[in-house]
Every structure is written in structure tokens, then in C-alpha cells.
Amino acid sequence: MGDKKIIDYDQNIGTMNIAKLFLVYLTTNLCGFVRNAGALMYRSPVKLIRSEGHTCDVHEVQTEDGYILELHRVSARMKSKEKRINKPVLLNHGVLFSSVQFALNGKNNSLAFYLADLGYDVWLFNNRGNSVSMKHKVWDPDNNTKEFYDYSFHEIGMYDIPPVIDYILNETNSEQLSYIGYSQGGTSFYIMASTRPEYNKKISVAVLVAPSSIMRNSFNMFLNILSRVIYTLEDMTRTLGIYRLPFLDYFRRFFIMFSAPGIIRNWITLPAHVQVLQTQHVDETLLPKMYYYSPTYTSSRQLFHYGQLIHSGKFRQYDYGKKENLKRYNSTEPPCYDLEKVTAPIVLYYGDSDALVTEKDIEIVSEILPNLVYRRLLKGYQHSDFFNGVDQVKDFYGELADFLNKY
């Protein structure tokens, strides 16, 4: 693992860690040098990918509701001797991330590069509203914030993924592609496959890693507390006109400035990094690099929707309140997503230390999915250890690639 260091932290969030998170919030919003600084620009995933010796082509796809999504197509390193497999594979990131999630760990430990060097035709997804896909045919994300960020992961599954699949199949002259979705990338796949089931036949295999859906057994104490007041928080943000997750510039700037070894990093930065991202094994070489790219922009509604899933214990559409639900759904309660309609072959990876997507919830979902071909529990893995940890290559990347090759 070279100069990488692994730091283990207890997975349960105690009072001390919540206090530290609160201290981060106060510090990043009250410190003069943070508050008065200009906007902190996000670095380009394309430049990062190219700096690792890979070619990266940029493609744009417009959704039926007007969002313009940016895709990154990654090819093998110029010196790679692997023969082209030419099977397209689409990688979909988690919430608060972008395509960079699959390229952040360098040329030897990032999934995008690992698959590209095996000869796969790798396409990296960027959902609407993140730092990469910030375009709409009508709305501007800064001047029309309410309209632009009026979505959840429901719209990502319904309107973002389908045209991207069609575009890739057309560009590659293929009938099917493989799909890899992490966390929200799994959530949105379930939504697409259940609400637009005709797309199941376009998927050769879907490898879903820590996919959020039914979350009734989540045991992240901080998020569970928030889920109990989720509807109050929603009302507050609407009253204040907060439609995009706020304070990200402050948060990122703090982590970038205080990631060097020292008291602040040891007592605030690292514990907050561990608890917010839900990671058990910290690769210190990613700090502060990660925070030049993430957490990325997202709608407030995306996070509220996850809070609703935890609160209700059901995998269902967004709850707008009884009156609005009646208008939209002809029911006072939002409808549940029908996982029995997800007929594409499914491979599941999940961690025994994941406080968000738990083993119990994966077992519940596994009983419903009609075409689950394989599932595997990874020991010692928390929610963010699968792609930005230190052991993922030796632990499961090879097996994952075998499933892409088999289907």
C-alpha cells in the first residue's frame, strides 16, 4: 500500500464525535478567512483522468426535462498492452460525488482505470446538478436555484439514466451495457428498472455496491436523529429558500486547509471526515485532494428523500405531504417502488460495518429481487470504503470484473 496509512475509528457516533461535527460547522461558517473568501472552484475530473495517462472524451446528453448531463469516456493508458474488450460499462457515483469518485485513487487503485486497462469501454456518469452537470436548456443553477434543484434521486432514475443508456448504446453500436452503481447510483438504478422496466433488457448485468433502498435498519445515529425531524427541516429550508445544499464551499475550504498533520486534523478534520463520509479505513493520501472535487452540489431534496426513507422504513417516492400527494399520486401516501420489476441480473456488494446500507436491509431486498445472481458481504467495509479506501482492488475489483466478463 506504499505510503498510504490506515486509521481505524469506531463506527458508532458518540456524543464526542457529534460535538466535533458541530465544531466543524461553527468553525467553517464563523472563521473570517473562510467566510470572506471567494467561491472555491471545483477541479475538473477530466484533467485528473488525463493526468493519469488515460484519454478522456467528454459527451453531453440532454434529458427530456431539459438537463444537460456530462459523460466522461475513459480509455486505456497509451502504454497498456491489454486487448480491447469493447464492452461498454456505465459507472454511476454516489450522492455528493461526481465521476471523479471512480478516478480519485490514482492510476492503480481507481475502478475507472482498472476497468479501462482491462480493455472495457468505460463511461462515467454525472447526475443533474452536481459540479459537472450544471447545465439546463432554460434554467441557470445560480439564478434559478428553486427550479433547477427541484429534483431528488427519483428524477435521476426516471430521466437521467435512461437517455444516457440509449446514448451509449447508440455510440458503441451495442444492444446492452454493464452498469455499476454505488449508493445513490444503486438507488437510482432500482428506480429506473422498476418505473421504466423496458430498460432492464438493455442491461447485461448491474453491479450495485452499497445500494440504498429500504433503510429501516440504518444505525447511523446522526442521520437517524435528523430523520426524526426531517419534515420540520424541509419546511425550514423552503421558508428560507434553500434548495441546494448550503455551505459546501466553507466545508471544503476548511478540510483543504486543515488536512496537514496537526492537532486540528487529528481532533476535528479526520474524525469529521470519517463520520460524515462513513469510512473505516482512511487513505491519508486522498486528503486534501478529495475536497477539491467533493462534496459536490446536490439538491436539498435528495438528502431529505433519504431522510424520509429512514423515517418510513419504506423504499418509496417522495412524500410531499398528504394534500400534494393526493394531487400527484392520487393517494395520501407516496407509492413504493416495485423491486419485483427489476429483472436485470443483479450483483450486490455490501459491508458489515455500513451504518447506512445495512446487512439486514440488503437481506430484505435480496428476497424481493427476482434476478439476484450473486451477493457478497465484505468484512470491515463501511459505506465509503468501496471505491475510495485502500484495499478495494485486492478485495473485490477482480471478482467484479469477472461478472462484467461473464454477462
Alpha-carbon span 25 to 22, nearest angstrom: 5
Q: What is the DSSP code string of 202-218?
A: GEEEEEEES--S--TT-
354 is catalytic: yes
44, 178, 183, 227: the active-site residue: 183
Cell numbers describing residue 150: 427541484
> In angstroms, how far is the first alpha carbon of the chain from the final one?
31
Nearest Cα neighbor of 218 from 336, 109, 344, 362 is 362
Q: Where are the beta strands (DSSP E) in 112-234?
A: 121-124, 135-136, 177-182, 203-209
Q: Which of 354, 361, 391, 395 is catalytic?
A: 354
Q: Strand pairing of 346-351 and 88-92?
A: unpaired
Show contacts of 55-62: CB within 8 Å, 24+ apart: 59/167, 59/171, 60/135, 61/163, 61/164, 61/167, 62/137, 62/163
Residue 133: active-site member: no
Helix, strand, coil: what percent of the chain each, to 5?
Answer: 45, 15, 40
Do 154 and 189 contact (CB within 8 A), yes or no?
Answer: no
Distance CA 208, CA 400 (A): 10
Q: Is 183 considered catalytic here?
A: yes
Tell me which amino acid residue 230 is: I
Q: Can you read off the three cell numbers belonging to residue 199?
A: 430498460
Catalytic residue (one of 259, 383, 391, 395): 383
Catalytic residues: 183, 354, 383
